[in-house]
Amino acid sequence: MSERPSTNPVYRFFFAVDAWCSSGFYEIRDRFRRMWSAYSALLDRVRIGGPPRLLFELVSDGATLGLLFALGVLYYALPPFSGTGDIWNQGRDYAVTFTDSNGEIIGRRGIRQDDAIPLDEIPQNVVRAVLATEDQRFLKHFGLDIQGTLRALVENLRAKDVVQGGSTLTQQLAKNLFLNPERTLQRKVNEAFLALWIEARLTKPEILKLYLDRSYLGGGTYGVEAAAQFYFGKSIRDVNLSEAAMLAGLFKAPSNFAPHVNPEAARARANVVLYRMLDVGVISQGELLEARRNPAEFASERDHYSPDWFLDWAYEETLATLKTYGLETEYVIEVKTTIDMAMQRTGQTLINEMLDKEGEERHVTQGALVSLTPRGAVKAIVGGRDYEDSQFNRAIDALRQPGSAFKPFVYMAALRAGYHPNTVVYDVPITVGNWTPKNYTRRYTGRTTLVTALKKSYNTIPVHIAQNIGRKAIIQAAELAGLRTKLSPVPSLPLGTNEVTLIDLTSAYAGFANGGHAITPYTVLEIKRPNGEVLYSRDTARPAPPQTLEPELVEELNYMLNQVVRSGTGRRALLGFTPQAGKTGTNQDYRDAWFMGFTAHYVTGVWYGNDDFTPMKRITGGSLPAMTWKSFMEKALETKVAEALPGVPLDDSYARYIARQDEGQEAPVVGGTADELPTRVTVDTTNSRQQVPERRERRADPVVRVLQSMFSLFSGSSSEPSPPPRRAEPPRRQVDSSGSARQRSTPNFSERRRELEDSLR
């Protein structure tokens, strides 16, 4: 038998809860009833009758309704503003002034602003003009000017138009810093709340300084200093009364009264400001007449070339540097850059001239150029034909297939695996899966050397190398050289089918020019405040680029790349007066054409193509890109002294070349494209020995060409410079076609030649 409800613990718990709730509700109701009775008894003792009762009721009801209205306004109009963090710079834009290494201004990005001028250095005429027109009672009110608002209301009613504003200078500052310019009741209430908040935290001089520095004054300028520089070509410290009146007139409507847009309206507005200053007694009648007789003169627009492609990239690097070094709150800065304005102008001019001359006939509409030092300092960036027409930077952002310009990384991987420039390789057909690459000439040479394969840009040899050492070894070599674009190990990787940018490929070639250091291209040398205080210096902040490639292998590769311009596909880029190296590149169907080359002073890459990816008319890397590269480098190196490259010594052949040119003798023939051989007599720059090429019919015979290549292996009278001697080193690892690693000593060409002689016997 179950327990009785009175003794069951569960029932007893619920009974206790019920009793507690009932008694609690009763106590609350009783206490409220007694409080109400006491309140009613108190009111009964205060009896007001007659007219005073009516007034009492109105005041009481008004207070109640006013409190409810105030709470509603507060809920509706409180701005979305926390008041924490870097509140005075919320939503602020950067104002960056760029200079060259000599301190000459080359352009700006972001907004035009300079807040480095102290308030006590701003002329009193400027301050008085602003206060006379914008807020005459600025020093007397607490952020809201009730008297001024009523006066503006009366004047607007009389004129039946908005002729005066009721906002104080503090309210305008609140709008500039925290709000948008839309005209709504909510924004006006927000202004009032924020004006009171600002007045409680800043002094009057601090508010005035912020207002003079942050207000938009037309022409992309913010603040009186930037506006004075832009409109009058002088500092705000040096403006006169008429110029101060014109600047003060801009605060009301900068788009309407900007001098460079509407000079007549700007002068008329300046006269209104002058008369307003006279009315409030801050200038005399004589000063007004003098200012009107000598109105402000605008700074004449100068013919200024702006390197916009370079500045766009430098601005991105500047913002990244500010973030990296915790300088995000430095909004007004001056940046010293690496640019060489003469090289920048030359590059843009050459690209445009070449497109004007060849564009229509050869169906090419765009070109790009990047030039930097072997240590990564960018000297010129040409991102296209016309910046005004298209701001897309083809040198920085366009991903394109480099074609044969990628092959140096394949050959570097081969050298790292144990090959040598004179290693014998075989130019024979090869098939990888369903893909069969072909040479540009559709012919095969057979037995040849690694250096010949590179200078003639054979396509089968890099694929054979990739099959032997593995495609991952090629990707690793490219990364060690400094190529940062992600590469896919597809079968066509050795022929440059992965897309890269021009800046990235040029940077990777810099690794060959500097002896094997992987560099990061840069444009920013220094960042400093307008007062000259240095915030960042690359010399002290950035480490030297690391050594990533073996120097002796870089020397061997540079020797091979030197042969490309001496007697290979890049002959049109031959300078002759200084050691150089380079490589042509042409992708499928002539959609992109490249020439990448370098000397001891500069590494330069040139690209031609079309934005819509349509093919050009047989433009190869050895034609327009190589010709543009040569013209650019000749101009860039005018004041430079020739220096040796790693693997390409500075011998007397360069002096003989210059002497022949000075004497008016015929220079070496450097013309021809990848599928052509010179038909004229050429002068070899290494030993001045003339060579008469065979007739084109004999050269076209593939049997003759194979025999020539075979016998050239055993000839000891080659006119080309010999490759750099191989340094003593331990055996290196090589990856065979099966992908397994094996030990292999450095191949010896003499031993290989004896093996071939024995086999021929």
Give me the phi and psi of 608, to 5 degrees please.
Answer: -130, 145
Taking the C-alpha atoms of residue 518 and residue 476, their distance in angstroms, rounded to an integer, is 12
CATH class of 116-293: mainly alpha
pLDDT digits 0-9 by tens, 526-541: 999 998 999 999 999 8
Number of Cα atoms under 13 Å in the Cβ half of residue 439: 22
pLDDT digits 0-9 by tens, 202-236: 999 999 999 999 999 998 899 999 999 999 999 99
Fold entry, domain 369-743: Beta-lactamase (3.40.710)
Query: Global pTM?
Result: 0.76
CB 362 within 8 A of CB 554: no
Give the active site residues: 134, 404
pLDDT category at 471 given cuts 50, 70, 90 is: very high
In the predicted structure, residue 247 carries a pLDDT above the cut 90 = yes
Taking the C-alpha atoms of residue 9 and residue 6, their distance in angstroms, rounded to an integer, is 8
Q: Is 207 helix (H, G, I), strand (E, B) or coil?
A: helix
pLDDT digits 0-9 by tens, 377-418: 999 999 999 999 999 999 999 999 999 999 999 999 999 999
Q: What is the 3-state secondary structure (H, E, C) of 382-431?
A: ECCCCCCCCCCCCCCCCCECCHHHHHHHHHHHHHHCCCCCCCEEEECCCC
Percent of the residues in the chain that have a pLDDT greater than 70, as a whole number: 81
Choice between 344 and 16, residue whose per-residue pLDDT is larger: 344
Q: Is 309 helix (H, G, I), strand (E, B) or coil?
A: helix
pLDDT digits 0-9 by tens, 606-649: 999 999 999 999 999 999 999 999 999 999 999 999 999 999 99
CB 502 within 8 A of CB 394: yes
Taking the C-alpha atoms of residue 605 and residue 129, their distance in angstroms, rounded to an integer, is 55
pLDDT digits 0-9 by tens, 49-101: 777 777 777 887 788 888 887 777 666 666 666 666 677 887 789 999 999 99
Tell me which H or E stretch contains 586.
strand 581-586
In the predicted structure, residue 686 carries a pLDDT above the cut 80 = no
In the predicted structure, residue 3 carries a pLDDT above the cut 90 = no
Give the start-to-end residue ranges of the domains of the chain.
1-42, 116-293, 369-743
pLDDT digits 0-9 by tens, 337-352: 999 999 999 999 999 9
Calculate the CA dihedral of residues 291, 295, 298, 300 and round it to 10 degrees. Answer: -130
Per-residue confidence (pLDDT) for residue 755, from 0 to 100: 46
